[in-house]
Homo-oligomer: A and B are copies of this chain.
Amino acid sequence: MNEFSLIKQYFQTSDNQRKDVLIGIGDDAAITQIPEGQLLATTTDTLLESVHFLKESQPSAIAHKAMAVNLSDLAAMGAEPAWINLSLSIPKADEIWLRAFSDKIKELTEYFSVQLIGGDTVKGSLAITITAQGFVPSDSTLTRSSAKPGDWVFVTGTLGDASAGLDILLGKLEAADPTHKHALVNRHYFPTPRILAGQTLRRLASSCIDVSDGLLQDMQHIVEASGVGVILHLDRLPISRALGSTVPHLDQALGYACTGGDDYELLFTVPEVHRVSVESAMASYNIPCTCIGQVTGANGKVDLRLDDKEYELPETLQRGYQHF
């Protein structure tokens, strides 16, 4: 099998053809059409074996995560996903692996109504780069840089589950209850991009980011981009029952929730005037979301409170992946 027949067999499908894709896989470039009045959102993320996923990960989990991290970036911009480019570096053309990987890509492109429009397949150590493209209405861009003092800080879902799941897989954390264990490990393998939440926030939130590097690190990105400060009330952090029961010590649970990465929840700020709208919109879509703090003046810091007292996270519990 050569590169071209591999692409044809596993990735060039006639299903799920979007009307805005004029030329998809199979030419030198894809040709697509942006709807009138919409801007283009583009994001790229690379996943490497042993860095972004464990060596023993199933191909379906790798495909899921590669899609999810990119769609999550679009979600954080309030974008509607449209097209995907996939660059795949694999050590060999293993048909079972490729079938499982490409089936998951296909399943997710259908679920999210996106189309795979191009890519590249090369022989090398396992690495997946996806470039995801989507639309945002030109009058409602959601960025990291417009948080204002007084705005409320919210987060969707629960925090810390994915990194606790990773620690279970690495043998660093034990989960006695198999249901909890399954829930946490699943959060690591199959994160859910908050597409609908992002689109809901477009005209309501003042800033937004997805929690990929850990709450504190990602909060810091908003703080720096917006030139503000933030107070976070750690007692209000949404901790799942699975994490809470598995990690009985509060400090340890807070460690996961504050600095564990890969949750792909949305962290966003909301002006007082939109707070009720956000809460009722999220409730009507059944998206859990919690107010965890408030934006302050321009001190450039993320200040932590526990039961209204200043709090510092023990250094041993700090995570947040650093590549270099």
Contacts and interface: CB of A to CB of B under 8 A. Distances in A.
A136 B31 contact: yes
**Chain B CB within 10 Å — which of A23, A92, A134 has the most?**
A23
Interface string A193-227: 00000000000000011100000000001000100
Counting contact residues on chain A (CB < 8 A from B), the size range is 35 or more
B87 A124 contact: no
Contacts of A246: none
Nearest to A5: B324
Contact of A89 (B43, B48, B83, B118): B48
A22 interface: yes
Interface string A6-48: 1000000000000000110011111111100001111111101
Interface stretch (A69-77, A162-170, A248-256, A277-285): A69-77
A22 B120 CA distance: 28
A318 B124 CA distance: 23
The majority secondary structure among interface residues of chain A is strand
Contact of A30 (B34, B41, B48, B86): B41
A32 B39 contact: yes
Contacts of A26: 144, 225
Nearest to A208: B28
Given A40-B34, A44-B131, A23 B120 contact: no
A42 B74 contact: no
Contacts of A1: 324
Contacts of A93: 324
**Chain B CB within 10 Å — which of A30, A117, A132, A144 has the most?**
A30
A120 B33 contact: no
A259 interface: no
Interface of A: 1-4, 6, 22-23, 26-34, 39-46, 48, 51-52, 73-74, 76-77, 79, 83, 85-87, 89, 92-93, 117-125, 127, 129, 131-134, 136, 138, 141, 143-145, 208-210, 221, 225, 322-324
- For the complex of A and B, the 4 pairs showing the least CB-CB separation, nearest first, are A29-B43, A28-B76, A93-B324, A131-B131
Given A27-B143, A40-B133, A121-B323, 4 more contacts: A29-B43, A29-B73, A31-B41, A48-B124
